[in-house]
Structure 1
Amino acid sequence: MGRWDRVGRAAAYGAALALSPYLLIKVSWVVGSLVGVLPVGEGFGTAEWVVLNTVTAGMAVIGIALALALVRPWGMRIPGALVAFCSWVGSGFLVSVLPFGLLSALLDAGGDSRGGGGDDPAMPVWEGVLVEFGFVGMGLGLALAVPAYLRRRWPDVFTGRVGDGPRTAPPWAAAVGAAVGAAVGLVWLYWAAGGTLGIAHPVQRSGDWHVLAAVGGFWALAGSAATWTVARARPAGLPRLLPLAFGWIGSGSLFAWSAWKLPLVLYVALAEPAGATPPEDITVAAVLHLSAVTAGAVMMRTLVRARLRHAESDALRGVDHRSGQAGAAGRP
């Protein structure tokens, strides 16, 4: 076992261990609210609170199972598409958590007031610490364990350079996906910088909201640029690792976060629960999240199709090379 595999193994187990307290906290909230010993979150009914925390507990179970699949032998027998999809969504969720945790801590130290941190304003400090530790630990663990898993299962995924393989015109879907993703990212960065167009309730914006908008906007732009680089196969000398990594993370961030937020936005628009007043105009937020989900999916499809084209080209070059050797051997 090489050094990179040992690091990935430790990171995978660490990620599963770090997320376990979060799962236990969510289960305790569900059980406690059902039996009446724990309060329900502000703005939620009991049924809504139970559904929300049951869903997030299920996501934690999937996250822990994913971390173990990246290191245990049975993980190599799971269909590759399933592991890749879960890793992509998980990376997309957690990529924002790492800079968010650092920047929000700096904002707190600077005295910036934050509106309603966490799932519940009455959450004890130790629970909040464990929740953030679980997210950060899972994010760091996946950042190390996923590449190690990919290296074992698909050794040539990140090898070569962008210009390798056939030079074909980028499909129109790649251009549209990258353009939509970039547009969404620019809107989020505009809001993070204090812009008010599309904001219905400016007073509801908090330091955390600005940080998440900035991080989401950065990854949307980075993912869009990386996907377009891969689709165009230019610049030719750029190592393929860089655009694939940024495209993977950026498209996952667009898809995962907006796939999570879109149902919440629709719920607020239809049910109008008390105490739930997002800063954004509901219609604008719904359009942005729907666009982000679509762009993220199209960008990932572009990356996969480009990788398949490179693999086919490598295989054809191998056949041609062997044919040439055979022909040379047959000549006098």
Structure 2
Amino acid sequence: MSRLDRAGLVAAYGAALVMMPYTLIKVSWVVGAVAGLLPIGDGFGLAGWVVLNTVTIGMAGIGITMALALVRPWGMRLPGPLVAFAAWVGSGFLVAMLPYALLDSLLGGSDDKQPRSSHDSSMPAWEAALIQISFVGMGLGLVIALPAYIRRRWPNSFAGPGNGLEPGRSRTTLWAVCVGAAIGMVWLYWAIGGPTGVAHPADRNANWSVLNAVCGLWAVIASAATWSLTRSWPTRLPRWVPVTLGWLGTGSLFAWSGWKLPLTVYVAIADPADASLPENLTVAAFLHAAAVVAGAVMMLTLIRTQRHQVMGPELPVAAP
């Protein structure tokens, strides 16, 4: 067993284990609310609270199953596209959440956590800590275990240098790379306090800036990694580097914008009194829609370059 496989094994089991506290906390919230032993979150009725937390329990279960699938023998028998897509989206979400945990620790806890109780009592500190540890552990676990799984299932995907698998002349790929990089630069610009495109500067906070900085950085990384894998000139860069960064970066671009796009559209249409976003909603919606498409196109490019690597250059590969 290689060093990467051993690290992936420990990371995957660790991710599954560390997600258990989050799952148990959510189960306790549902059972306690139904039994009348625990308060319901602000702004929720009993039915809405139960449905919301039941969905998150299901998502946690999928995450645990996904982590185990990356290291257990039965995971190699699952449909490759299903495993890859779930891990791609999951790791894309979580790599952007890790800096939140760091920021929260440095600041000694956020002051704007949503209260869980209908009586405005904040979430107990130990619950918040366990939930944070669960997210951080799952994120780190998937980031380490996913490349190991990909290399075991598709060995040639990490083989050789990242050179000339497919000439980087496809207009669609070029469009996706340029759009992804441009979106990333806009988010980084907002993160450092740029005013253009921000409709409500007073609503900006540290979390918003960190999220824009992290997502912007991953968007730029995704574009650079995708472009490097479609270059026609040789490079000494090991292939596993752009493959790993490309999958994580495109996953972040697709997953976060895929989640924030409907939220932005909802705020723009419903104009709720208790919800406001700093950025101009039209600009934000346009960026998120473009990010979803660019992330998906770059992901397909990564798949095609991998297929080209596995099958060999003698077989034709359709340009994206």
Offset of 1:38 from its aligned partner?
4.0
Equivalent residue, structure 2, for 1:270: 269
Q: In structure 2, the residue corresponding to 1:75 is in which secondary structure?
A: helix
Offset of 1:84 from its aligned partner?
0.8
Answering whether residue 170 of structure 2 is matched by residue 171 of structure 1, we say yes
Offset of 1:67 from its aligned partner?
0.6
Written as runs of structure 1 = structure 2, the 5 A alignment for 1:125-140 is 125-140=125-140
Equivalent residue, structure 2, for 1:252: 251
Offset of 1:235 from its aligned partner?
4.7
Distance (whole Å) between structure 1 residues aligned to residue 198 and residue 225 of structure 2 = 29
Structure 2 residue identity aligned to 1:246:
L
Q: Deviations over 1:246-299 (max 9, x none)?
A: 211110000111112222223333333342222222222222211111111011
Answering whether residue 115 of structure 2 is matched by residue 116 of structure 1, we say no
Equivalent residue, structure 1, for 2:285: 286
Written as runs of structure 1 = structure 2, the 5 A alignment for 1:196-215 is 196-215=195-214
Structure 2 unmatched ranges of 5 or more: 316-320
Equivalent residue, structure 2, for 1:309: 308
Structure 1 unmatched ranges of 5 or more: 317-332
Instruction: Indicate if the aligned counterparts of 1:104 and 1:211 stay in contact, CA closer than 8 A.
Output: no
The count of aligned residue pairs is 311
Cα distance change, pair 296–287 in 1 and its aligned pair in 2 (3 A): same
| Deviating more after overlay: 184-193 vs 261-270 | 261-270
Equivalent residue, structure 2, for 1:9: 9
Cα distance change, pair 238–6 in 1 and its aligned pair in 2 (3 A): closer
Distance (whole Å) between structure 1 residues aligned to residue 260 and residue 81 of structure 2 = 24
Equivalent residue, structure 1, for 2:25: 25
Structure 2 residue identity aligned to 1:82:
L
Offset of 1:229 from its aligned partner?
1.6
Max radius of gyration: which structure?
1
Distance (whole Å) between structure 1 residues aligned to residue 266 and residue 47 of structure 2 = 14
Identity of aligned pairs, percent?
A: 57
Distance (whole Å) between structure 1 residues aligned to residue 308 and residue 171 of structure 2 = 16
Offset of 1:227 from its aligned partner?
0.9
Distance (whole Å) between structure 1 residues aligned to residue 44 and residue 272 of structure 2 = 7
Equivalent residue, structure 2, for 1:297: 296
TM norm structure 2: 0.87
Instruction: Indicate if the aligned counterparts of 2:251 and 2:295 stay in contact, CA closer than 8 A.
Output: yes
Offset of 1:18 from its aligned partner?
0.7
Offset of 1:81 from its aligned partner?
0.9
| Deviating more after overlay: 186-195 vs 7-16 | 7-16
Distance (whole Å) between structure 1 residues aligned to residue 200 and residue 38 of structure 2 = 31
| Deviating more after overlay: 225-234 vs 176-185 | 225-234
Cα distance change, pair 211–82 in 1 and its aligned pair in 2 (3 A): same
Instruction: Indicate if the aligned counterparts of 1:69 and 1:76 stay in contact, CA closer than 8 A.
Output: yes
Instruction: Indicate if the aligned counterparts of 1:229 and 1:235 stay in contact, CA closer than 8 A.
Output: no
Distance (whole Å) between structure 2 residues aligned to residue 45 and residue 285 of structure 1 = 31
Distance (whole Å) between structure 1 residues aligned to residue 168 and residue 71 of structure 2 = 39
| Deviating more after overlay: 62-71 vs 140-149 | 140-149
The alignment's C-alpha RMSD in Å is: 2.4
Written as runs of structure 1 = structure 2, the 5 A alignment for 1:182-201 is 182-201=181-200
Equivalent residue, structure 2, for 1:88: 88
Distance (whole Å) between structure 1 residues aligned to residue 292 and residue 313 of structure 2 = 32
Distance (whole Å) between structure 2 residues aligned to residue 41 and residue 284 of structure 1 = 32
Instruction: Indicate if the aligned counterparts of 2:40 and 2:49 stay in contact, CA closer than 8 A.
Output: yes
Equivalent residue, structure 2, for 1:162: 162
Structure 2 residue identity aligned to 1:174:
T
Offset of 1:34 from its aligned partner?
5.0
